[in-house]
Amino acid sequence: MKVRLAVTAVAVAALAIGALGSAGAQLLNGSLPLAGIVVTQNGADLLASTSVSDAFAITSGFGATDYAPIPLGTTYGTTTLDFTNFTTFSLSNATFGSFATTSGSFITHHADFVDVLLLGVYSPGPGLPGFVPTPASLRISINQSGASLSEAITLNSPPLGVPEPGTYAFGVTSALGGLLMLRRRKMA
């Protein structure tokens, strides 16, 4: 009985010390728009390419909520999006933090347009004090028009989800059902 009480007391003390150590630290909430500069691919078009790179990513607008302290024009270094292994993608700035990918998937992949959702963790730097590494997502959209490429990137915390195919099917089925009901009313 005394041993159990002692073990419980030690566990409670350890939890209390851990809570004090992280007091005030919180998860990030918000979004940040970025753009890829000098975007290149390794194929004739986006469907034939296996990777897209940029010279650097730069904030293209003001961050929302917890990302608001990141100034417009902040650079995040060179990025490469490997279509065969999304987990190699990372985004990093020494002052404001970095994003490390844990998984990813194509939303759309055509010869002239690619849309990808990456899931991972954004670890804030010293320019975002009081925050801890946070689950996040990056939505990367790449457009090819002729030989020109443009890249838009949006960082979101908490992460955005990709609708399951069943969600689309449910939406289409619901819309068709609504149209049939309207048609029956008009016929009656």
Distance CA 124, CA 116 (A): 23
pLDDT at 161: 75
pLDDT at 183: 59
Distance CA 102, CA 118 (A): 8
Distance CA 87, CA 118 (A): 8
In this prediction, residue 17 has a pLDDT band, given cuts at 50, 70 and 90, of very low
Contact 150, 46 (CB under 8 A): no
Give one DSSP letter per residue of 138-185, joined into a string. EEEEEEEETTEEEEEEEEEESPP-PPPHHHHHHHHHHHHHHHHHHHHH
First to last CA, the chain: 78
pLDDT at 107: 97
Distance CA 161, CA 117 (A): 8
- Comparing 173 with 26, the larger pLDDT belongs to 26
Task: List C-alpha distances in Å: 89 to 5, 116, 118, 179, 187.
Answer: 49, 12, 9, 44, 56
In this prediction, residue 160 has a pLDDT band, given cuts at 50, 70 and 90, of confident
Q: What is the pLDDT of residues 71-118, one digit of tens each?
A: 999 999 999 999 999 999 999 999 999 999 999 999 999 999 999 999
Distance CA 105, CA 179 (A): 33
pTM for this prediction: 0.75
Residue ranges of domains in the chain: 26-178
Distance CA 149, CA 41 (A): 8
For the segment 141-154, the average pLDDT, to the nearest whole number, is: 97
pLDDT at 61: 96
pLDDT at 176: 58
Q: What is the pLDDT of residues 30-54, one digit of tens each?
A: 999 999 999 999 999 999 999 999 9
pLDDT at 85: 98
- Comparing 176 with 116, the larger pLDDT belongs to 116
pLDDT at 44: 95
Taking all residues of the chain, what is their mean pLDDT, rounded to a whole number? 84
User: Does residue 9 surpass a pLDDT of 50?
Assistant: no
pLDDT at 25: 85
The letter for the amino acid at 26 is Q
Q: Which two tokens stand for residue 20?
A: 């004090």
For the segment 114-138, the average pLDDT, to the nearest whole number, is: 98
- Within 8 A by CB and 6+ apart from 109, the residues are 46, 47, 83, 115
